[in-house]
Amino acid sequence: MPSFAIEPPPVVSLPIAGSDAMFPVRRVYCIGRNYAAHSIEMGGDPDREAPFFFQKNPDNLDPSGEFPYPPNSTDVHHEAELAVMLKSGGVNIPVDRALEHVYGYAPALDMTRRDLQSEQKKLRRPWEIGKAFERSAPVGPVHPASEIGHPSDGRIALAVNGALRQEGDLNHMIWKVPEMISYLSDYFELAGGDVILSGTPSGVAAIARGDVMELEVQGLGAMTVRVV
């Protein structure tokens, strides 16, 4: 063991459904505009855009079930997403081998300070202050692929205070999970512990303190997150 000059930060880890073991997180990649209807609502052209990615920080993932309304924003949006957890990685992974690297899946929210993100877009600056803030990615328990398989279709929906806001189907993703893994591995070396947020269907909208968000991904159950 090396000695550390300061207290080493804890390993970020997520609960696994039906297990006492935890899933340790290494990196978090997020794809933008991966459902056609959401791409259109954000002003994009879904037919011609190559995939693009941004990152959140590992410790932005938060399984607590509470989302503290973040500072410096008056327009914080929910984005309901399927999270993909890798157990291994590499570079130049072919699409037809990509799912061999998946450990499991979880429901997740890519919470976004939309006002800050929009400003940064206009200024052609990076998105971190809009996307990678504290506890910006509430996440449910990880469901191992060894138990649930690899969901490629199924309903993904988000309700706020019981009213449906977002609804889509995993098979509406423009870039499917194996394609995302393969594409990312051409640009980065992927590894076990990496998490990919796979994009959101249309219907993103603002939340307020006191709201209760309920995310449901078919096959993964529901996740309830309270805005505090």
- The residues binding Mn ion (CB under 5 A) are 79, 110, 200
- Count of C-beta atoms within a 10 Å radius of residue 172: 16
Please say which residue, 117 or 200, places its beta carbon nearer to Mn ion. Answer: 200
CA distance 20 to 105: 17
Closest CB 131 distance from Mn ion, rounded Å: 8
Beta bridge partners of 54: 30
Count Cβ neighbours within 10 Å for each residue of 35-46 and write b for 16 or more, e otherwise: bbbbbeebeeee
Please say which residue, 22 or 129, places its beta carbon nearer to Mn ion. Answer: 129
- CA dihedral in degrees (161, 55, 189, 195; nearest 10)? -20
- CA dihedral in degrees (211, 34, 152, 190; nearest 10)? -100
Closest CB 202 distance from Mn ion, rounded Å: 12
Closest CB 81 distance from Mn ion, rounded Å: 6
Closest CB 83 distance from Mn ion, rounded Å: 11
Please say which residue, 33 or 101, places its beta carbon nearer to Mn ion. Answer: 33
Residue nearest to Mn ion (CB): 110
Please say which residue, 79 or 216, places its beta carbon nearer to Mn ion. Answer: 79
